[in-house]
């Protein structure tokens, strides 16, 4: 497999989480999660300790011997799924602008708010002002004043100042080529998790603001073919 910066063997927690985020419904018995750990030479006891800690932390629920994602992580799974087949609409040139008017929040609330805005794929122009092109088919329900407007000139330059588009595109091309070379279930597992994380980081800008050779669609198309064979291999390994 191609060398891609940032790809490392999974920990017990990340192996469990990646497995459940990719499962529909996101619920599996402990024995299946133990078998995932075997792919990365993670001992059964280590996986079971991770499961107990994730239940205690509110990441998982234990139901009749099975483990499933809590509602918070189910929302993360939904964002992950939506990033594979994003709901976009034709762009008329408008931008969504969300302006924070509330009093200063406690640190934990500020962190949660920033995560919410990032999940909605808005970028921060300056403190308290978030925006993006209005090309996504999703509600924008946030604790802000929401406006619609247009930059006076150079929307492409504005987009380039808000997102590191060359970096996203370069990594997308590396991942695309790696999908063609991945060999063996552990390598495929790590690569699948990396591609899904990269989809979530895609700003999903309209084509008018992207380079002509933007690799987003090509990576999504290639990943769908890869995922069919990967899921079949994983089910065979888990015996389900």
Strand partners, 124: 130
Contact of 84 with 196, CB cutoff 8 Å: yes
What residue ranges define each of the domains in the chain, with the CATH number in brackets? 12-74 (1.10.10.10), 95-149 (no CATH), 165-238 (1.20.58.1460)
Give pTM, 2 decimals: 0.91
pLDDT at 104: 77
Q: Provide the greatest CA pair distance for the chain.
A: 60
Task: Please give the helix or strand (H or E) that residue 21 lies within, else none.
Answer: helix 12-21
pLDDT in tens, 112-160: 889 889 989 999 999 999 999 999 998 888 888 999 999 999 999 999 9
pLDDT confidence band for 81 (50 / 70 / 90):
very high
* CA separation for the pair 237, 227 (Å, rounded): 15
pLDDT confidence band for 2 (50 / 70 / 90):
low
pLDDT at 8: 77
pLDDT in tens, 157-184: 999 999 999 999 999 999 999 998 888 9
Q: pLDDT at residue 1 above 60?
A: no
Indicate the length of the chain as a whole number. 240
Read off φ and ψ for residue 194, nearest 5 degrees. -65, -40
- For 103, other C-beta atoms within 10 Å of its C-beta total 5
């Amino acid at each position: 497999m191609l060398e891609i910066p940032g790809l490392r063997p999974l920990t017990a927690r990340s192996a469990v989480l990646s497995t459940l985020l990719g499962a529909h419904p996101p619920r599996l018995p402990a024995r299946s999660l133990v078998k995932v750990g075997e792919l990365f030479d993670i001992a059964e006891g280590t996986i079971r300790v991770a499961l107990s800690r994730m239940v205690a932390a509110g990441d998982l629920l234990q139901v009749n011997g099975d483990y499933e994602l809590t509602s918070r992580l189910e929302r993360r799974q939904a964002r992950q799924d939506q990033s594979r087949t994003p709901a976009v609409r034709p762009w008329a040139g408008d931008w969504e602008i969300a302006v924070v008017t509330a009093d200063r929040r406690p640190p934990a609330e500020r962190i949660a708010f920033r995560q919410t805005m990032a999940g909605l794929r808005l970028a921060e122009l300056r403190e308290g002002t978030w925006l993006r092109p209005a090309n996504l088919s999703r509600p924008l329900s946030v604790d802000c004043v929401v406006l619609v407007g247009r930059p006076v000139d150079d929307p492409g330059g504005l987009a380039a100042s808000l997102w590191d588009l060359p970096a996203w595109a370069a990594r997308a091309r590396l991942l695309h080529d790696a999908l063609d070379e991945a060999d063996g279930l552990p390598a495929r597992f790590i690569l699948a998790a990396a591609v899904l994380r990269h989809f979530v980081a895609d700003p999903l800008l309209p084509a008018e603001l992207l380079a002509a050779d933007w690799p987003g669609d090509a990576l999504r198309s290639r990943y769908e073919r890869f995922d069919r064979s990967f899921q079949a291999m994983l089910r065979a390994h888990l015996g389900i």
